[in-house]
Amino acid sequence: MKTDAAWHHGQTLAAGQVAEFKVWAELVRQSMGGLHVFLPLRDMGIDGVVHRLSDGDYLPVQVKARTSLTPAGQVHITVTASSIHDDEALMVCVLVDAEQLGAMVLVVPEAKFRELAAHDIVEGREYLTAAFQLHAGGRSRWALYLVPREGLAERFGGALALTPSTDEVLAVDRGSEGFLGESEVVRRLAESPSLNLFRPFPDLETVEVLARHVDTHRFMGLQVKTAGWERPNLENRVYVRRSSFRARPTTYMCVLSWDRVAMRFGDDCLLIPSLDISELARAEGEWLVLEMQPGSAHHRRLDRYRSPIATLGRTVEALLTAVAG
């Protein structure tokens, strides 16, 4: 095993970032798109969220890496105890071996990492250390959580057999109004300090903005639709591709109205559970169509989903807290 001299001289942070992207790349490659990766817009302790498309589950992940082995041939991963505060998150501990990850990867829930790790106090701070070798078997306390590099996606439930068919992947609207709407939703949610926000990379699925409550650890995925208008007598329509839309309890559709003349968003938005979309929309060929009054989020049965855009962050906070309660 060769060490990579490029990581010496204090480049630990860069090595950590490389490790994260190598992990994300392996998950996407091995699952052939069955696992999607969301990256944080703000560092709040989670390096990324893996979305398993087969059942809609979201898996928060922390990636920890080393770039060399100990003289005994082990990988030592040391973290501060204060950085381990989410029992449901998965820790993915790897060796960055030149151009690839080491042959074995440690994938362990944070709660189990805290239980099995060696505990040390240095200058008043508690540190946790895991020491594992790059081969399967043995009597190590970590043996049950070691997986071959090529089995990483399977450990996340994203084996190739679970991959959705290609016609179920959403063709994302990358128009300028759509981008404005997504950015506005991110801005509004960012006003709530209890929400950790993520965006998918690449942007290939129903969920375009992912929010996670830092206390309840609950997720809400948002598909953002922007209905632009410029004539007061023209009805707004929002189109959703029937073959690709995935209704999940954790997924909502957020519909914003955009005044093309005034160049501003309407005061209200719609926040609709995805499970309700099929009852609210009418089928039009390959599309589900939502109809609204021009310049607003009003229309017939949609009023109960209306929410002030200024308080969107608080609305999402309340929903995520209520789900946990």
Model confidence at 91, in pLDDT bands (50, 70, 90)? Answer: very high
61 and 43 in a common domain: yes
Predicted local distance difference test score (pLDDT) of residue 220: 98
Residue 245: predicted pLDDT: 84
161 band by pLDDT with thresholds 50, 70 and 90: very low
Domain boundary among 139, 164, 189: 164
Mean pLDDT, residues 4-13: 49
Report d(CA 81, CA 107) in Å as an integer.
Answer: 18
Q: Are residues 179 and 134 in the same domain?
A: no
Q: Scanning the structure block, which residue is given the tokens 């043995």?
A: 138
Both 201 and 78 in a single domain? no
Q: What's the confidence (pLDDT) of residue 94?
A: 96
The larger pLDDT score, comparing residue 236 to residue 143, is at 143
Is 231 found in the same domain as 269?
Answer: yes
The percentage of the chain sitting over the pLDDT mark of 90, rounded to a whole number, equals 58
Q: Is the pTM of this model over 0.75?
A: yes
- Tens of pLDDT, residue by residue over 168-188, are 433 334 378 888 999 999 999
182 and 252 belong to one structural domain: yes
Higher pLDDT, 257 or 211: 211
Of the candidates 109, 132, 164, which is a domain's last residue? Answer: 164
Residue 113, judged by CB atoms within 10 A of its CB (0-12, 13-18, 19+), counts as buried
Query: pLDDT value at position 163?
Result: 43
pLDDT surpassing 70 at residue 85: yes
Residues 102 and 185 in one domain: no
Whether 70 and 186 share a structural domain: no
Q: Let me know whether 158 and 171 are in one domain.
A: no
Residue 125 and residue 12 share a domain: yes
- Work out the average pLDDT over 44-56: 93
Domain count of the fold of the chain = 2
Q: For residue 137, what pLDDT band results from cuts at 50, 70 and 90? A: confident
Q: What is the pLDDT of the chain when averaged over all its residues? A: 86
- Average of pLDDT values for 301-314? 92
Longest CA pairwise span in the chain (Å):
75
Mean pLDDT in residue range 95-124: 93
pLDDT of residue 312: 97
Does residue 231 register a pLDDT over 90? no
Q: Which domain holds residue 307?
A: 167-324
CA distances from 316 to 195, 196, 250, 271, 272 (A): 9, 12, 11, 9, 11
Residues 195 and 308 in one domain: yes
pLDDT at position 303 is 86
Per-residue pLDDT band for 232 (boundaries 50, 70, 90) equals low
pLDDT at site 290: 86
Tell me, yes or no, whether 305 and 196 share the same domain.
yes
Q: Please, which pLDDT band fits residue 43 given cuts at 50, 70 and 90?
A: confident
